[in-house]
């Protein structure tokens, strides 16, 4: 039974990499009661099911961490699903939250929302200033729509209904609970699996997609979770001071990037693979460079705490502990 003296928080997408990190972080606070629902218990794509769930449960805050995610291959192979799922999930949650009278929501977007050739590092104001990266455009458009949905509710109902809906845009994430699927995973978990299996099989080489020259910024899901909670709990006067009604999202990153080739070499060394590393230039690179300007959140007092090397070592241990389940 829920304790009425505790803040009740629904984490949508609690089983995902970032959602589970948010739950781990929130559980450190004894004054918080966390509400979750599995996919079998609640289909977030079904409006009637979401409405019924919100009618039956009571909570004070909602973290929208649920999303369909994947790397270049998955985005290119399933564009309709990436667009539909990432449109309908926030629509259903925001609608039900508003109807239930929930005042505080946090929507978690993606750095894919920014233009392919955005000015670097990418500030929040770069949104909608240019064309998106084609390989994940459907996903990016859906995430932009979710962000603008939050803004629109604030602009129309912020004063009349005293709602406070916020959005964050994390950089590329990895960490505990990541997907190590051979085809659909993001770059770090994908490379971890390929190097590990190449080491076991004594393969002579491992190839990486593209030229290896593109640069990316990476953040552990645990650091991202701390950033999400930090933004959710910022005093409203502070949040409104560093945002505007039509540019209300805040970037979450670490301020450093690395080339995919440098990343691959780092993972190769951590795993201890001794074979060769080659590039497959028949595969797409994606956006040439993607480094977020996280000066707003850092000026407010937040900093990441886990280095890239430490984060990859932690993720590799998570991979090893789940490897038997991953292979089946």
φ and ψ at 290, to 5 degrees? -145, 95
Contact 215, 184 (CB under 8 A): no
63, 73, 114, 139: which is the annotated catalytic residue? 139
**Is residue 95 packed enough to be buried (19+ CB in 10 Å), middle (13-18) or exposed (0-12)?**
middle
Per DSSP, the three-state class of 51 is helix
What H or E segment, with its residue span, contains residue 112?
none
CA dist 149 and 141 (Å) reads 12
Contact 133, 112 (CB under 8 A): yes
Angle between helical axes of 308-321 and 260-271 (0-180°, round to 10)? 50
* 139 among known catalytic residues: yes
CA dist 229 and 23 (Å) reads 10
**Residues with active-site annotation:** 139
């Amino acid at each position: 039974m829920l304790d009425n003296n505790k803040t009740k928080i629904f984490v949508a997408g609690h089983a995902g990499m970032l959602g589970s990190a948010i739950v781990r972080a929130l559980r450190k606070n004894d004054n918080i009661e966390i509400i979750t629902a599995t996919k079998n218990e609640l289909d977030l794509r079904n409006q009637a099911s979401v409405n019924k769930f919100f009618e039956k449960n009571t909570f004070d805050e909602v973290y929208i961490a649920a999303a369909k995610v994947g790397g270049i291959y998955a985005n290119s192979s399933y564009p309709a699903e990436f667009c539909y799922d990432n449109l309908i999930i926030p629509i259903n949650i925001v609608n039900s939250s508003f109807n239930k009278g929930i005042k505080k929501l946090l929507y978690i977007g993606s750095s894919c929302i920014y233009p392919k050739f955005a000015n670097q590092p990418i500030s929040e104001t770069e949104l909608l200033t240019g064309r998106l990266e084609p390989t994940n455009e459907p996903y990016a458009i859906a995430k932009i729509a979710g962000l603008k949905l939050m803004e629109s509710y604030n602009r129309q109902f912020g004063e009349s209904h005293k709602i406070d809906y916020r959005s964050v845009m994390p950089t590329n994430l990895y960490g505990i609970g990541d997907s190590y699927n051979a085809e659909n995973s993001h770059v770090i978990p994908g490379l971890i699996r390929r190097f590990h299996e190449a080491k076991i099989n004594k393969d002579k080489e491992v190839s990486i997609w593209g030229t290896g020259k593109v640069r990316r910024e990476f953040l552990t899901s645990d650091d991202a979770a701390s950033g999400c909670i930090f933004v959710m709990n910022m005093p409203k006067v502070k949040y409104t001071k560093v945002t505007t009604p039509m540019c209300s999202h805040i970037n979450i990153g670490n301020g450093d990037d690395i080339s995919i080739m440098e990343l691959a070499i780092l993972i190769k060394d951590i795993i201890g693979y001794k074979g060769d590393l080659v590039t497959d230039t028949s595969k797409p690179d994606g956006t040439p460079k993607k480094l977020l300007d996280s000066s707003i959140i850092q000026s407010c007092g937040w900093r990441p705490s886990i280095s890239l090397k430490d984060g990859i070592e932690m993720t590799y241990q998570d991979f090893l502990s789940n490897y038997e389940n991953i292979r089946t």
